[in-house]
Amino acid sequence: MRHRLVLPVKYGFTGLILFLFSTVRAHAGVNSAMREQFHSGVNEVVNNILNGADSDIRTWTMAVALFLTAVTAFVYFWKFVQDGSALVDLLTLAVMFIFTLALTGAYITVVDTITGAFNGIASEMQRLALDDISPDFLSNFVENVLFKAISAPSVNITDGMNMIGTALMWEVCSAVLEVAIYLADVWIDVGTAVAKVTGILFIPLLVSPATRAIFDGWFKFFIGWGLAGIMLKVTSIITMVMIRASINAAGKFKNGHILDGVPDIITGENTISGVLQVTGDNINLLKDICVYSIIAAIMVFSCFIFAFMIGAGVGSTSQGLNNMAVRIARKAAKALL
């Protein structure tokens, strides 16, 4: 009776795991090609919005920039008429207006350069840590561990429910972790695209000191997605090291102790060189691995919170541009006077 109950449960869980893995792997197989098409499509959308022959958004952008410039110039000019002290402010406003026009014209190049810099940093950290530049390195690693490095007990009348349940739990936790990493990766791509498209509306707010805080808010939002990509890569690397250490420790655990001289199941190059046999002696360590995997999945999504917390501390971009404009304006004013 027990055998008849356990067998369908194992097959049911196995079917669920295979479905989750096949779904993720099917997407991962076309991931690079899809991303290239996605990024190209986003750039095309931004270009159409900004540079389309009948683009009302471009007209609105320029109208807002001109309106804010005119209002701010009037305030500065009135101050200049009263006491003659706003010449630098007027010249600074002119420089900031030029900055705004330049940013509008080179918008795609600027945002792609920033995004590329974050991606480059994340990829270099992965290469230095793991000597691997594959974008699906953690998914491949988890799959190899699940299907090659761990040998779950066979189902028969003598198997313990605890051992079978723990082995199945590890399979489920691994699938959840891999799916979480894939979804987070796609989320970052989509979030970056949203920040890129909406940024068009915030460019003209750079002109006036009264609206620069709104521009800074968008820029921090944009930077946050770039930081999220780095945080996801770092989280994935740490997760990979954690799983490797846990599997190797379980493979050396016998009679309540970790034995010396036993070769690692997963080598430092993250290749599978042995098989972890699930036994009653190491079953508790496998439970710990399951807990770590669930925590790792939570950490994957927490990387967004960490990234935006860090991004919130980014200084005022508009203030930096304004300081540059002030220096240019002072030199111009000195030359005029």
pLDDT tens digit string along 200-220? 889 999 998 889 889 998 998
Indicate whether 333 belongs to any domain. no
Cα 275 from chain centroid? 33
Give the chain's domain count.
Answer: 1
For residues 132 and 239, the answer to whether their CB atoms sit within 8 Å is: no
Cβ neighbour number for residue 150 with a 10 Å cutoff: 22
Q: Which of 143, 229, 243 is nearest to 191 (CA)?
A: 229
**CA–CA distance, 329 with 14 (Å, rounded to integer):** 69
Pick the more confident residue, 135 or 100: 100
Quote the longest CA-to-CA distance of the chain: 99
Indicate whether 77 belongs to any domain. no
Cα 246 from chain centroid? 26
What mean pLDDT, rounded, does the chain reach? 77
Reading the block at residue 93, the tokens are 């406003």
- pTM to 2 decimals? 0.77
Indicate whether 57 belongs to any domain. no
3-state secondary structure 26-86: HHHHCHHHHHHHHHHHHHHHHHHHHHCCCCHHHHHHHHHHHHHHHHHHHHHHHHHHHHCCC
Indicate whether 294 belongs to any domain. yes
Q: Is the pLDDT of residue 247 over 50?
A: yes
- What is the mean predicted confidence (pLDDT) over 25-41? 64
Q: Is the pLDDT of residue 10 over 60?
A: no
Reading the block at residue 293, the tokens are 């995997």
* Residue located via tokens 């002109």: 207
Indicate whether 149 belongs to any domain. yes
Domain that holds residue 154: 2-23+107-317
Indicate whether 150 belongs to any domain. yes
According to the model, what pLDDT value does residue 167 have? 66
* Residue located via tokens 């009037």: 74
Indicate whether 50 belongs to any domain. no
